[in-house]
A and B are shown apart, each in its own frame.
Chain A
Amino acid sequence: MNFLQHVINGLVIGHGYALIAIGWTVLLGVARLVNFGHGQMYMLGAFVTWFSMSSLGLSYWVALPIAVLVGALVGFIMQRIMLNLTIRQDLVSVMIATLGFGYILEGVAALTFGSTGQILDTPLSLRDVYWGDLWFTWQDIAVVLVTIAFFIALKLVVEHSSVGRRVRMVAEDPKLALLAGINVKWVYLGVFCFEGAAVALAAGMVAPRTPILTSMGFDEVIITFVVVVLGGIGSVTGSYLAGLGIGIFTAFFGAYVSAAYSTAAMFVLLIALLVLRPNGMTQSMARH
């Protein structure tokens, strides 16, 4: 494979990483919360898409919105159960509870979809594009375009809409936002719904690149973590650029060193970053 092919692979993977991470970026920026069940929500999004297509016989264009709706519903249920913890900002309990949710999702998925690996083929992933020596699929093009459109829309909503203004107020100071008449509980519920929906969309778009298993999801949490920290917590543009950077790094590391250790390499990169600038990751959603 030539150099340009690795760049293209990196750009596609990078857009996928940015899309996987965006829900977490907003969650962290607004609610100062993390969701360790994020990877299992990604897994669920991929399996709901696969199940809707292979067992219910629905088309990809119907299966994807169903996965997004299921993702939003799971996010809502999670946050509804943990609402008191979120309001109290009991981070320790929230972190452990989200791990528990991830574990439940894995059990439910294995029970519903079975524990064997599956392939999520879509009408776009089966159509190849050859451009000179370069090769990619229509699914790759869709990942790039959907991610760009999603980020532009999100940036517009956060910075130029009344919903975005309320979300930014909660991010800045939840108590003052409450005094200003904003329903903080609904903002938190909405943010979790958004996170669930965004990661399910990412799964439906990105998962056709690899086989899917109900035990997957751990790598996605690490990828998301690295993207969020590298991009600056709460920064939408930063997440996009960090996703691209990590994608290109992964493509070249996988091609020239070892594909099996690419997550480990990403982690080493993260450790270096944390040691060098431990306080450089405190940007908030409010400061756009």
Chain B
Amino acid sequence: MKPLRMLSWPLMALLLLLSPTLFGGSSALYSVCTTIAIFAVMAYGLDLIVSDLGEVSLAHPVFFAVGAYTAAIASTRYGLGPIETLVLSIIVVLGVVGFIAFVTLRLHSFIFSLVTYAVTVVAMTLASNWAFLGGSDGIPGIPAFEVFGYRAVNEAQLWPIAWGLLLVTLILVVAFRRSKMGYAAMTVHLNPALARSSGISPERIRMQVFLASAPITASAGWLYAYQRAYVSADILSPYFLILMLTAVVLVGRRYILAPLAGIAIILFQERFLSYGAYVDRIILGSVLVLVLSFLPGGLVGLFRDLNRRIGRSRQPHAESQTLKT
């Protein structure tokens, strides 16, 4: 049984890699799969903060933008390749997140979230006005993704890269949840007083989880820059924040595939069942509000409740059958 279970994950990963080809291999399908993978990676970074640490970070769009802008500036102005721009993105985002974590070290709950929100709003102002970041025109002309001789000039060629990034992210998230830091984060989430009395510093853990989470979201921004070949201030629009948050809560918290499934459901609606940008916005916001207000366990919780109810309604029936016989 165990070897079979060990084999099932690599098989699933391989199936995921081949899925666009299996479903017809159209460029639209490759495009949506690549975007799902990139946005899922973006959401996994936030998932660690919301699901594991139990806080709300509204600065994650900034980390996503840091990855995208670093890739854009380093590739167009300094001619660096994707590996160098990825390393640079991670270094820059660690600097940014280190500053935010230092400032918010002693802040809690809504004050912490408000500061992170303010960081995003200020970043939006900076990106729209600062010439270094291209101002309102943004930074166009990002070269095609090319690493070790592999050149990705279309979505089909970029898909294996996005798939690889998603796979690495999933492995990192699983490793985080099994690590001492992951357990400590959950202890801080569930009972900060208990965490403190067992020698865990909630402030230190929060800083560590932030430092682990931001590079994940930044790496998604890094690949997104190559996918679009263009970066502008709209990368900091509220859409990305709402998208990440909805993906994190929609399916259920702390399920490894939940943010990926959440992003897939949302993007499927936006690409194939779209009612126009404004109605889609209302749908996305409504899903977020309704899930939080009425489905605290997400879709997984809903199905579990339904199963339980069906089970209960069957049980008395079965009992009455037994009594009859």
Expressed in whole angstroms, the Cα–Cα distance for A213 and B84 within the complex equals: 40
Q: How many A-B residue pairs have CB under 8 A?
A: 125
**Interface 1/0 per residue, B267-306 and A, CB below 8 Å:** 0000000000011111011101110110010000000000
Q: Which of B123-131, B148-156, B172-180 contacts A (4 or more CB under 8 A)?
A: B123-131
B161 within 8 A of A: no
A260 within 8 A of B: yes
Q: Which of A6-14, A102-110, A137-145, A185-193 contacts B (4 or more CB under 8 A)?
A: A102-110
**Interface 1/0 per residue, A261-277 and B, CB below 8 Å:** 10110010011001100
For B125, the chain A residues whose CB sits under 8 A away are: 260-261, 263-264
Contacting pair B282 A95 (CB below 8 A): no
For B58, the chain A residues whose CB sits under 8 A away are: 36, 99
| Chain B interface bracket (under 10, 10 to 19, 20 to 34, 35 or more) | 35 or more
Closest residue of chain B to A78 (Cβ to Cβ) is: B289
Closest residue of chain B to A282 (Cβ to Cβ) is: B111
Q: Given known contacts A84-B293, A96-B245, A97-B289, is B279 in contact with A111 (CB within 8 Å)?
A: yes
Contacting pair B281 A106 (CB below 8 A): yes
For B114, the chain A residues whose CB sits under 8 A away are: 34, 225
Contacting pair B117 A100 (CB below 8 A): no
Expressed in whole angstroms, the Cα–Cα distance for A104 and B285 within the complex equals: 5
B residues near A, CB below 8 A? 50, 54-56, 58, 103-104, 106-107, 109-111, 113-115, 117-119, 121-122, 124-126, 129, 238, 241-242, 245-246, 249, 278-282, 284-286, 288-290, 292-293, 296
In the assembled complex, the CB of B249 is this many whole angstroms from the nearest CB of chain A, namely 7
Contacting pair B122 A229 (CB below 8 A): no
User: CB within 8 A of A34: which of B103, B110, B129?
Assistant: B110
Q: Given known contacts A34-B114, A92-B55, A95-B56, is B278 in contact with A110 (CB within 8 Å)?
A: yes
| Chain A interface bracket (under 10, 10 to 19, 20 to 34, 35 or more) | 35 or more
A222 within 8 A of B: yes
For A270, the chain B residues whose CB sits under 8 A away are: 115, 118
A219 within 8 A of B: yes
Q: Given known contacts A96-B56, A221-B121, is B115 in contact with A274 (CB within 8 Å)?
A: yes
